[in-house]
Chain A
Amino acid sequence: MTATMTQCLLRLVEEHHTLADYQGDVVPRWCAGCGDNAILAAMQRLCRDEQLPPEKTVFVSGIGCSSRLPHYMHAYGFHGVHGRALPVAEGVRLRRPDLHIFVTTGDGDCCSIGAAHWIHAIRYNMNMTVLLHDNQIYGLTKKQVSPTSPRGLKSNTTPRGAYLNPLNPLTVTLGVSNVSFVAQAVDWIPDLLYDIIAEAHRHHGLGFVRILQRCPEFMDHRFDEAVRDPSKTRILVHGDGLRLKPELSRIYHNKEVHDPLDMPRALAIAALEDEIPVGILYKNPAVPCYEDVREAERPNTPDLIRTVLDEEFDKVTIWPDEQEPPAAAE
């Protein structure tokens, strides 16, 4: 059946999605000033700009403030158990190359209870975008230290200050075999946040974006200095990475041209202590994706199942009139 030009045009209009098409029917219940709002806005913008069909887009999360994000999108969402967003997303991805998959997770969800899955997800390198909402604190359970909390932070479980140095999600991620995309964004520069998530989404493989995020409720003023003083933010730019718009260029002078394939430099940038790097630290599209490696050579049809079962049964069948067992196992 052929469609007329008018029908095609009508269809185009029908299928054109506006920002509202990605807004869930639940009003976000994050605190005013929470960085999660910026991430949600960037996500909805990205979905619209990329025209991702809502029915083909899946947001998978664990537990925590960050993990409420799927409820606020108009798409398929999976708000699961604490720490396990990544393996759920991997299972979704395995046989569904047609879906766009985003994982929203927090510093507790990803770097603490789900740390094992985080390491292995990087190694599997399945095609999805992972947003680590890192506010360096447990918010939903009311102020306990997280693995990324700064040393000395007073919280409900560390009333005399956090005992240990924080874990650095960037260096950890960069250290895992098969890492293919690592970036860092901050919630207070929304344009770059958007650009970086968009790059991660376009990357074929696991795009890991750590987003430094403000928690006005429990970590107020944590990033005040960085927000106030642009020189504390080092923007990573490259022809094959982030390009800074002129209006941002005027504010952020602390720039570094960084080739996203340069792993030693990426590790050095990730380890910076007095500046916040923003941009793409590492990008290597040549790393294979697990779902591609495991792609079926043939579809699982009834005939194929019958054939394979019969082959296997043949190896262990006693036939009523048998004189000999089957000639060989293979």
Chain B
Amino acid sequence: MSTQVKEVGAGAAKHRQARQSKSDSTPRSRPALLLDENIIEIVSDSGEGAQRCGQSFAAIAARMGNGIWTVQIIPAEIQPPHRSIAGASGNRVRIAAHRVTNGGDEADLVVAFNEQVLLGRLRAGEIRPGGIILLESMWRDDKDPEIAAAYARVCEEVRSAGYRLYEVPMEAECVKHVPDPRRGKNMFALGMLCGIYSLDVELARSQVRFVFAKKDPKIIDANIELLDAGRAWAEANLDLKFAIPATRPKEPQVVMNGNAALALGVVASGMEVCSMYPITPATSASHYLSDIFDKVGCVVHQAEDEIAACTFAIGASYAGKCAVTITSGPGLSLKQEALGLAVMGEIPLVVVDVQRGGPSTGQPTKPEQSDLLAACFGGHGDAPKVVMAVSSIEDCFYSLITARKIAETFNMVVVVLSDASLATAQQPFPRPSFSEGWLAPPVDQSAVPEGAKPYDWDPQTGIAARFIPGQPGGMHCLTGLAHDRFSHVAYDPAVNQEGIRQRARKLATLQATLKTPPLYGGEEGELLLIGWGSTRGAIEEAVDMLRGKKKRVSSMHLKFLQPMASGIGEVMRRFDKVMTVENNWSDTLDDEIADKQSQRFTNLGWLLRAHYLVDVTCWGQVRGQPMKPGAVVEAALTRLGRK
């Protein structure tokens, strides 16, 4: 087995050279290149621990005070074949000297446990040309000649393509420390990365202790040994030494992924019941919630199906215990009839939809903003629901509190849209400080006033006081049929007209309270980009890049998609061109399948065009990847027509 380190390719030596920062306690044998930011990927077969390695690496950097954003690289299958292009599992970590809001464009450095998963990332265009590759070298001498040949072929390919390839005998090095190197290689890799990026030694060790806290002390020691070995090996054998300046935060920060933030948001909202059915990529929110919800006296109910999950939540809410149901695209489709019932019965309900690629089973682990129109208009009949979207990890937390408040104030269904990219992405945000104001007042069980009606819609707001079982005098039969103010089934044409108008009025009442979303960039200009949800970080970074190129481009990000705030139309008219940016499909006019008559737009494109009669164009992609700032820049330049 070759233990020789080989480096090929000129590489990008564009970085300024600088002395290591003072706080760094690594050996000072080599000066570190000071970087503003870097994107690192670590990929392996499923089960080899690359995800844990990447997450730990990001956590250490975050603790040092770096801005971070992590993106999970997830194969769609539970047990993808070993050493396969489609089987790459791991993490992308973007580390910067400043706050990071998205996973960025291409990776600068990748650690791969075999050449096939590396190939997967290369073919997907995820690695920067000339980027650094650290590849497990054991395959070169594999006893299966086909594997050895495949390995050699890929090495040759990446070298000739100009990447800086380092073949690293990870397994051979790990064997010196542990009997089963497959189970510890990820910590060796973590050590290498900590060495290369000059991360704090003690922080790294304590992170490993934290990660393995539930394990036997011997396992913790073995992993720390591997961590140290990885670092020592990198220091001794690699000519790679970088440092990304870190600034300790002034206020406490928490680091978590979007689904964890959703789960904590549910707890913070004071909702008592979460009823769900397993579905990717939403389920991890319910996993975490299941772990902690009991501790606050609340219940996660795994129902027999999506419809039961929704109707169970509706039952709990009807009985005064405001409930949330957490799902993903196909689940939202299944819940639609029940959501119509909640709208008709005016039962508060929070629905969290962690979107994924559609239609049908689509791409369960991949991001797409597929459900906006389904959330707004998915059911039959006129069923006004509130639809809001989260655009950062922090937003995942606070939006649940807002959603519950709106649901109970207006007795409405509130759909909160997240997606697969936020679900597993990690980012630090200021540690929330609990406020009792987040919670709802206790359920009213006092007698209803004589003569009060269950749907006595207020003429100004459309809101009716809700009678909850247990309230004397409030007895009525809630029904999904058209009904009058007494909840009696409507047989009179005017009654149905009135009921639908009152439910629409509630949406209008909420709409009047919404503020026009602020602009990012300038107040007017040549091009306005409009987005919603998880793409915010990438779009705003793109605006920075474009304005850096003296382009008069701004962006606006929508939190409320239904209803939409006033003023959006006027803002659009201050720009020469308006373009939506979405992880969704849109026909384009340069494609033979569409012309001006037949063109279909993205979800948001349809909404904006219909609302504001502005000739909004759409730029969308359905590649199953988080939005990249570079792609947005390209699209904007094309739209500006001066690429």
Residues of chain A at the chain B interface (Cβ within 8 Å): 24, 26, 53-56, 58-60, 70-71, 73-81, 84, 87-96, 98-99, 116-117, 119-120, 294, 296-302, 304-306, 308-313, 316-330
Contacts and interface: CB of A to CB of B under 8 A. Distances in A.
A86 to B, nearest CB: 8
Contacts of B252: 317-320
A96 B320 contact: yes
A77 B273 CA distance: 21
A306 B431 CA distance: 13
A94 B299 contact: yes
Given A305-B296, A308-B296, A318-B255, A79 B481 contact: yes
B337 A81 contact: yes
B508 interface: no
B478 A310 contact: no
Nearest to B295: A308
Given A87-B307, A316-B255, A55 B477 contact: no
Contact of B469 (A56, A310, A323): A56
B323 A299 contact: no
Interface string B544-586: 0000000000000000000000000000000000000000000
B211 to A, nearest CB: 8
Closest 5 CB pairs of A and B: A91-B315, A77-B477, A296-B297, A328-B213, A91-B316
A328 B251 CA distance: 22
B474 A302 contact: no
Given A94-B299, A95-B272, A309-B268, A77 B470 contact: no
A91 B249 contact: no
B478 A77 contact: yes
B637 interface: no
28 contacts: A54-B475, A56-B470, A70-B477, A71-B489, A76-B478, A77-B478, A79-B477, A84-B308, A87-B311, A89-B315, A91-B273, A94-B321, A95-B299, A96-B319, A99-B470, A120-B304, A296-B297, A296-B298, A302-B270, A302-B439, A305-B267, A305-B296, A309-B432, A312-B292, A318-B252, A324-B206, A325-B206, A329-B214
Contacts of A317: 252-254, 431
B301 A94 contact: yes
A228 to B, nearest CB: 37
A79 B20 CA distance: 70
Contacts of B62: 318
A137 B272 CA distance: 40
B264 interface: yes
A87 B308 contact: yes
B182 interface: no
Contacts, number: 225
B341 interface: yes
B628 interface: no
Contacts of A76: 467, 469, 474-478
A141 B323 CA distance: 33
B150 interface: no
Contact of B472 (A55, A306, A308): A55
A22 to B, nearest CB: 10
Given A87-B307, A308-B296, A309-B264, A55 B323 contact: no
B275 to A, nearest CB: 7
B434 A300 contact: no
Given A55-B470, A95-B321, A330-B213, A81 B312 contact: no
Nearest to A76: B469
Contacts of A325: 59, 63, 203, 206-207, 210
Interface string B306-345: 0111011111111111010000000000000110110001
* Among A71, A98, A120, A310, residue most surrounded by chain B Cβ atoms (within 10 Å): A71
Interface residues of B, number: 81
Contacts of A120: 303-304, 308
B308 A309 contact: no
* Among A58, A80, A119, residue most surrounded by chain B Cβ atoms (within 10 Å): A80
Nearest to B297: A296
Contacts of A308: 267, 292, 295-296
B308 A117 contact: yes
B595 interface: no
Contacts of A329: 210, 213-214
Nearest to B437: A302
Nearest to B200: A323
A84 B311 contact: yes
A87 B323 CA distance: 13
Given A91-B323, A319-B252, A55 B471 contact: yes
Given A54-B475, A309-B434, 8 more contacts: A26-B489, A55-B471, A87-B315, A91-B313, A94-B312, A116-B304, A309-B267, A318-B255
A298 B476 CA distance: 32
Contacts of A79: 477-481
B443 to A, nearest CB: 10
A310 B434 contact: yes
A94 B316 contact: yes
A203 to B, nearest CB: 21
A298 B297 contact: yes
Interface in B52-98: 59, 62-63, 65
A319 B59 CA distance: 13
A301 to B, nearest CB: 8
Contact of B315 (A77, A90, A330): A90
Interface in B474-527: 474-481, 488-489
B102 to A, nearest CB: 20
Given A76-B474, A92-B319, A300 B313 contact: no
Contacts of A322: 63
A55 B307 contact: no
A59 B477 CA distance: 8
Contacts of A89: 315
B384 interface: no
B201 interface: no
Contacts of B489: 26, 71
A24 B477 contact: yes
Nearest to B468: A76
* Among A87, A93, A300, A325, residue most surrounded by chain B Cβ atoms (within 10 Å): A87
Contact of A95 (B264, B316, B471): B316
Nearest to B347: A78
Nearest to A119: B304
Contact of A304 (B63, B297, B301, B316): B297
Given A92-B316, A304-B297, A80 B431 contact: no
A185 B479 CA distance: 28
B9 interface: no
A73 B272 CA distance: 29
B469 to A, nearest CB: 4
A213 B304 CA distance: 29
A291 B471 CA distance: 22
A65 to B, nearest CB: 14
A329 B303 CA distance: 29
Interface string B132-174: 0000000000000000000000000000000000000000000
A90 B631 CA distance: 48
B305 interface: yes
A225 to B, nearest CB: 36
Interface string B182-206: 0000000000000000000011001
* Among B304, B308, B317, B470, residue most surrounded by chain A Cβ atoms (within 10 Å): B308
